[in-house]
Amino acid sequence: MSALVIVGAQWGDEGKGKVVDLYAPYADLVVRYAGGANAGHTLVVGGEKLILHLIPSGILHEQTKCIVGQGTVIDPAVLLKEIRALGERGVSTLARLLISQRAHVVLPHHKQVDELREAKSHDAIGTTKRGIGPCYEDKVARRGIRMGDLLDASPLGTKLEANLDAWRPVIEDLGGTLPDSTSIQTEYAELGEMLRGYIGDATSAVREAVQSDGKILLEGAQGTMLDIDNGTYPFVTSSNAVAGGACAGAGIGPTHITRAVGIAKAYTTRVGGGPFPTELDDDVGQQLRDAGAEYGSTTGRPRRCGWLDLVALRHAVAVNGLDEIAITKLDVLSTLPTLEVCVAYELDGQRLSHPPYERIDAVTPVYDTLEGWDDDLSSCRARNELPVAAQRYIERIEKEVGCPVGLVSVGPDREDTADLKDPFYS
């Protein structure tokens, strides 16, 4: 068997969805292992745009089964909407989509608390307000509601009451009103009923795929720099986005993971608050935003844009144990006469090759300037078809971070990809 992890190597939005979509035809099973409806990937199905937040984009490939794993947090109404939207476009999910009974449920008061905190805090994280943080808080506090709980009405009521009791002082302190437990119970039991055919034993499904020598693609969400342990804490999400998160979040042992591929944009973006050393608050930043259509697919927020941060990428190579990097959106850099890449940070007169524990907001990026290119890259299907300056740019990335670049994406469509290979036999 082989299991490949796809992980975001920056601050999320690296284009993981496109890579998963390209790799899914080679996989028997795709398992999403972390995060929730804070993520978003825009797909074009039957000529129409569709944004998936929870279901892996592998669902578009008929022979591929998909799991939303135990490490995720699920808003059942969002999930149902995605299942229906796929159905309306002729994509059948029944018997191909399994939702882990162990995944935690995002409840209405998780979203309420997320919104109230963001509105009140002077140091807002800039969350997606999808209730992700409060839901993971419940999970760690061992009072969460899991997808399996939605299928059994009587314990659900008791668990919900205990859960709401824990949130009462928090919500009141934030000036909110505690929602009514009976109406949540009714609504969520109904949602559970509608999802009954999907919720099940994902642990066994993953184990069977391992035992039957299957090809498993483990799909991360967000990115390394947003990981709760490895990112720019506290400006992070509440889960382990890194490759290691795939073990716990999908229920697969580390010895079964055969390859880790990090996805990185050819420049850097970030949404929400928090440090961003290479941020460009100028015309070049705006040019990247326009050329790269850098607006969040979940919240529509304009993304902050900046030069490629090789310090962050070096960190991602290390903490994910990356075998390979896939570079996306290289085409967005076309026409810029010169390109800066951040090769180190300076902090208190010291040169750093890896991100410091804190005060990342105080570092000064050290840049090297590389030559740009004018050419349209969209027809390049192999690295040696790229303009020489673009080839040099990629070689520089490899040299600085000590990891080979495999696939290079040169446009939004599936075909706009150089060096696509079967990822299970690279």
CB of 246 to ligand IMP, least distance (A): 16
Q: Does 132 bind ligand IMP (CB under 6 A)?
A: yes
Catalytic residue among 21, 28, 41, 75: 41
Tell me: does residue 55 bind ligand IMP (CB under 6 A).
Answer: no
Is the preceding peptide bond at 134 cis, omega within 30 degrees of 0? no
Interface region with ligand IMP, contact rule CB under 6 A, candidates 44-52, 76-84, 96-104, 128-136: 128-136
133 binds ligand IMP (CB under 6 A): yes
Distances (CA, A) of 89 to 30, 50, 58, 208, 391: 21, 10, 15, 30, 39
Q: Where are the alpha helices (DSSP H) in 24-64?
A: none
Q: Say if CB 175 and CB 134 are below 8 A apart.
A: no
Q: Which string of x and - marks every residue 157-196 that binds ligand IMP (by CB under 6 A)?
A: ----------------------------------------
For the bound state, the minimum distance from the C-beta of residue 125 to ligand IMP, rounded and expressed in Å, comes to 5
Give the separation between CA 70 and CA 33, rounded to whole angstroms. Answer: 7
Candidates 38, 72, 100, 240: give the one binding ligand IMP (CB under 6 A): 38
Minimum CB–partner distance for residue 187 and ligand IMP (Å): 22
**Burial of 183 per CB tally in 10 Å (0-12, 13-18, 19+):** exposed
Identify which of residues 41 and 159 has a Cβ nearer to ligand IMP in the complex: 41
Q: Does 130 bind ligand IMP (CB under 6 A)?
A: yes
Footprint of ligand IMP on residues 318-357 (CB under 6 A)? none
By CB under 6 A, is residue 128 in contact with ligand IMP?
A: yes
Number of residues that bind ligand IMP (CB under 6 A): 19
Q: Report CA dihedral (185, 84, 59, 295) to the nearest 10 degrees.
A: -90
Note if 21 is an active site residue: no
226 is a contact residue toward ligand IMP (CB under 6 A): yes
Contact status: 59 vs ligand IMP (CB under 6 A): no
Using the rule CB under 6 A, which residue among 57, 64, 100, 237 binds ligand IMP? 237
Which residue's Cβ lies closest to ligand IMP?
272
The CA-atom distances, in angstroms, between 285 and each of 15, 202, 288, 291, 345 are 19, 43, 5, 10, 20
Between residue 263 and residue 302, which ones bind ligand IMP under the rule CB under 6 A?
A: 271-272
Q: Say if residue 163 is exposed, middle or buried (CB neighbours under 10 Å; 0-12, 13-18, 19+).
A: buried
Tokens at 209, concatenated: 């795929």
Q: Annotated catalytic residue: which of 13, 21, 138, 331? A: 13
Interface with ligand IMP, residue 199, by CB under 6 A: no
- Secondary structure (3-state) at 204: helix
Q: 13 catalytic, yes or no?
A: yes
225 in contact with ligand IMP (CB under 6 A): no
Candidate list 12, 17, 56, 406; residue touching ligand IMP; CB under 6 A: 12
Give the CA diameter of the chain: 66
Distance of alpha carbon 78 from the chain centroid: 17
Residue 206 amino acid letter: V
Region binding ligand IMP by CB under 6 A among candidate stretches 166-174, 231-239, 312-320, 327-335: 231-239
Helices then strands, each counted (H, E), the chain? 11, 20
Residue 416 DSSP SS3: coil
Cα 425 from Cα 406, distance rounded (Å) = 12
**Does 125 participate in binding ligand IMP (rule CB under 6 A)?**
yes
Q: Which is nearer to ligand IMP, 124 or 162 (CB)?
A: 124
| Binding flag, residue 126, ligand IMP (CB under 6 A) | yes
State the number of CA atoms in the 13 A half-sphere of 230 facing the CB.
27
Residues engaged in binding ligand IMP (CB under 6 A) = 12-13, 38-39, 125-128, 130, 132-133, 221-222, 226, 235, 237-238, 271-272
Residues annotated as part of the active site: 13, 41
